[in-house]
Amino acid sequence: MTNIKTTSELEDRVLSHICEEHWLKLSKELIRTGQPRSGDPLDPDLPPGEEEAIAMLVAGKLEAIGMKVEKYESMPHRPNVVGVIKGSGKGPVLMMNDHLDTYPVVEPHKWDKTNFDPFNATRDGDVLYGRGTSDTRGNMASAILAAQALVKEGVKLEGDLMYCFCVDEERNGTHGSIFLTKEIGITADYSITAEPTAWGTVEDNNWGMNLSTANAGHCLIEIVITGEKAHIWRPDTSKNAIVEAARLIPSIEKMKFNHTETDFMGHTPPCTTIVRIRGGLSGEMEFSPDECTITLAVVGIVPGMSMGSIIRDINEVIATELNDSSSISFEVKKVKDSLFVEATEPVPINEEPCRSISKVYSKLMDGKIPIPNRKNAFNDTIRLREAGINAVTIGPGEDGWSPDNESISITKAVMASKIYALTIMEILKVQTDENE
Residue 319 one-letter amino acid: A
pLDDT digits (tens, 9 = 90+) for 122-181: 999 999 999 999 999 999 999 999 999 999 999 999 999 999 999 999 999 999 999 999
**pLDDT band at residue 4, thresholds of 50, 70 and 90?**
low
* DSSP H or E stretch at residue 390: strand 390-393
Percent of the chain with pLDDT over 70: 97
Residue 2 has a pLDDT of 46
For the chain, which residues make up each domain, given as ranges?
9-215+343-428, 217-334
Q: Output b/e per residue, 116-151; b: 16+ Cβ within 10 A.
A: eebbbbbeeebbbbbbbbbbbbbbbbbbbbbbbbbb
Q: Write phi, then psi, for 192 (nearest 5 degrees).
A: -125, 120
- Listed in order, strand segments (DSSP E) in 194-325 are 198-201, 206-209, 211-215, 217-226, 230-231, 271-279, 287-288, 291-301
Report the alpha-carbon distance of residue 433 to residue 339 in Å, rounded.
Answer: 50
**pLDDT band at residue 371, thresholds of 50, 70 and 90?**
very high
Of the CA atoms within 13 Å of residue 47, those in its CB half-sphere come to 9
Residue 402 has a pLDDT of 87
pLDDT digits (tens, 9 = 90+) for 330-346: 999 999 999 999 999 99
pLDDT digits (tens, 9 = 90+) for 256-297: 999 999 888 888 899 999 999 999 999 999 999 999 999 999
Q: What is the largest CA-CA distance in the chain?
A: 90
The CATH number of the domain covering residues in 9-215+343-428? 3.40.630.10
* 376, 167, 384, 69: CA torsion to nearest 10: -140
**Assessment of whether the complete model's pTM goes beyond 0.75:** yes
The CATH number of the domain covering residues in 217-334? 3.30.70.360
Of the CA atoms within 13 Å of residue 430, those in its CB half-sphere come to 16
Burial class (CB in 10 A: 0-12, 13-18, 19+), 324: exposed
**pLDDT band at residue 434, thresholds of 50, 70 and 90?**
low
Q: 9-215+343-428 and 217-334 share one CATH topology? A: no
**pLDDT band at residue 11, thresholds of 50, 70 and 90?**
very high
Residue 1 has a pLDDT of 44
Residue 436 has a pLDDT of 47
229 has a pLDDT exceeding 50: yes
pLDDT digits (tens, 9 = 90+) for 88-119: 999 999 999 999 999 999 999 999 999 999 99
